[in-house]
Amino acid sequence: MSDIAIQATNLGKRYQLGALGTNYRTLRDTIVDTFTSTTQALLHTGERTVTRAEENRFWALRGLSFDVKKGQVLGVVGRNGAGKSTLLKILSRVTEPTEGQAEIHGRVGSLLEVGTGFHPELTGRENIFLNGAILGMKRTEIAAKFDEIVAFSEVEKFIDTPVKRYSSGMYLRLAFAVAAHLEPEILVVDEVLAVGDAEFQRKCMGKMSDVAQQGRTVLFVSHNMSAILRLTQETMVLDKGQLLMRAPTQEAVDYYLSSGYSRQGERMWEADEIPPSAAPFRPIAIRVKDPRGRVVETIRSTEPFQVEFEYQLAQPLTGLRVGLYFVSPRGEPIFTSFDTDEPAQYERHSARKAGHYFSRCSVPANLFNEGRLVLGVNASSFKIKRYFQDEQALVFSVDGTGAPGSQWAEPRQGPIRPALEWKIEVHS
Amino acid sequence: MSEETTLIRASSGWVALNLKDLWKYRELVYFLIWRDIKVRYKQAALGVAWAIIQPILTMLVFSTVFGKFGKLPTDNSVPYPLFTLAALLPWTLFANALQRSGTSLVGSANLITKIYFPRLIIPISSVMAGLVDFGISFIILIGTMIYFKVSFTWNMLWIIPFTMLTLVTALAVGLWFSALNVRYRDVQQMIPFLVQVWMFASPVAYSAQLITDRKWQIIYGLNPMAGIIQGFRWSLLGGTPPGELMLLSSAVMLVLFIGGLYYFRRMEKTFADTV
Testing the interface with A: which of B40, B108, B115 to mutate, by most A Cβ within 10 A? Answer: B115
**For A421-428, which contacts have Cβ atoms below 8 Å and span 24 or more sequence positions?**
none
State mean pLDDT over A110-121: 82
Beta carbons of B3 and A91 less than 8 Å apart = no
Testing the interface with A: which of B27, B39, B266, B271 to mutate, by most A Cβ within 10 A? Answer: B27
State mean pLDDT over A126-149: 91
* The predicted structure's pLDDT at residue A397: 85
Residues of B in contact with A109 (CB under 8 A): none
Give the phi and the psi of residue B69 in degrees, each rounded to 5. -80, -45
Beta carbons of B184 and A24 less than 8 Å apart = yes
User: Which chain A residue has the Cα nearest residue B35?
Assistant: A130
| Of the candidates A133, A125, A123, the residue with the CA atom closest to the CA atom of residue A164 | A123
User: Which chain A residue has the Cα nearest residue B109?
Assistant: A117
| Spatial distance between the Cα atoms of A236 and A248, rounded to a whole number of angstroms | 9
A298's enclosing H/E stretch is: strand A298-300
pLDDT band at A42 (very low <50, low <70, confident <90, very high): low
Q: Choose between A192 and B264: higher pLDDT.
A: B264
Per-domain residue ranges of chain B? 19-274
Please state, rounded to an integer, the average pLDDT across all residues of chain A: 83
Please state, rounded to an integer, the average pLDDT across all residues of chain B: 86
* The predicted structure's pLDDT at residue A193: 59
Beta carbons of B186 and A121 less than 8 Å apart = no
**pLDDT(A49) > 60:** no
**pLDDT(A382) > 90:** no
Among the partner-chain residues A99, A102, A119, the one whose CB lies closest to the CB of B39 is A119
Q: What distance, in Å, lies between the first and last C-alpha atoms of chain B?
A: 38
* The predicted structure's pLDDT at residue A38: 61
Beta carbons of B38 and A113 less than 8 Å apart = no
Residues above pLDDT 70, as percent of chain B = 97
Per-domain residue ranges of chain A? 15-59, 61-258, 266-399
| Spatial distance between the Cα atoms of A352 and A199, rounded to a whole number of angstroms | 29
* The predicted structure's pLDDT at residue A109: 83
**pLDDT(A262) > 60:** no
Class of domain A266-399: mainly beta
- Two domains, one topology: A61-258 and A266-399: no
| Spatial distance between the Cα atoms of A335 and A361, rounded to a whole number of angstroms | 13
Contact A403, A417 (CB under 8 A): yes
| Spatial distance between the Cα atoms of A110 and A88, rounded to a whole number of angstroms | 8
State mean pLDDT over B28-37: 90
- State how far residue B42 is from chain A, nearest Cα, in angstroms: 7
State mean pLDDT over A263-287: 84
**pLDDT(B156) > 80:** yes
* The predicted structure's pLDDT at residue A34: 64
* The predicted structure's pLDDT at residue A177: 87
State mean pLDDT over A293-307: 88
Residues above pLDDT 70, as percent of chain A = 86
**What is the DSSP secondary structure assignment for residue B74, as one 8-state letter?**
-
Of the candidate ranges A28-42, A213-227, B194-208, the one whose mean pLDDT is the lowest: A28-42
Return the SS3 of A142. helix
User: Which chain B residue has the Cα nearest residue A87?
Assistant: B8
**pLDDT(B133) > 70:** yes
Helix B159-183 to helix B224-237 angle, to the nearest 10 degrees? Answer: 160
Among the partner-chain residues A1, A27, A139, the one whose CB lies closest to the CB of B27 is A139
pLDDT digits (tens, 9 = 90+) for A396-422: 888 887 888 878 877 788 889 998 999
- State how far residue B28 is from chain A, nearest Cα, in angstroms: 6
User: Which chain A residue has the Cα nearest residue B11?
Assistant: A96
**pLDDT(B65) > 80:** yes
State mean pLDDT over A7-23: 72
Residues of B in contact with A98 (CB under 8 A): 10
Tell me the CATH number of domain A61-258, given options 3.40.50.2300, 1.20.1290.10, 3.40.190.80, 3.40.50.300: 3.40.50.300
Helix B186-200 to helix B80-102 angle, to the nearest 10 degrees? Answer: 160
User: Which chain A residue has the Cα nearest residue B12?
Assistant: A98
User: Which chain B residue has the Cα nearest residue A117?
Assistant: B111
* The predicted structure's pLDDT at residue A169: 80
Q: Choose between A9 and B219: higher pLDDT.
A: A9
Residues of A in contact with B275 (CB under 8 A): 24
Among the partner-chain residues A93, A130, A185, the one whose CB lies closest to the CB of B8 is A93
Please say whether the dihedral angle defined by the alpha carbons of residues B62, B68, B72 and B75, taken in this order, is positive or negative.
Answer: positive
**pLDDT(A196) > 50:** yes
Beta carbons of B31 and A130 less than 8 Å apart = yes
**pLDDT(B216) > 80:** yes
Please list the alpha-helical segments (H only) found in chain B: 19-24, 26-41, 49-62, 80-102, 104-107, 109-112, 121-128, 130-147, 159-183, 186-200, 214-221, 224-237, 243-274
Q: Choose between A423 and A135: higher pLDDT.
A: A423
pLDDT band at A35 (very low <50, low <70, confident <90, very high): low
pLDDT digits (tens, 9 = 90+) for B93-109: 999 999 999 899 998 88
**pLDDT(A22) > 60:** no
* The predicted structure's pLDDT at residue B91: 94
Distance, C-alpha B205 to centroid of its chain:
18
Residues above pLDDT 90, as percent of chain A = 34
Question: Which residues of B sit within 8 Å Cβ distance of A?
Answer: 3-11, 25, 27-28, 30-31, 34-35, 38-39, 42-43, 110-117, 182-186, 269, 272-275
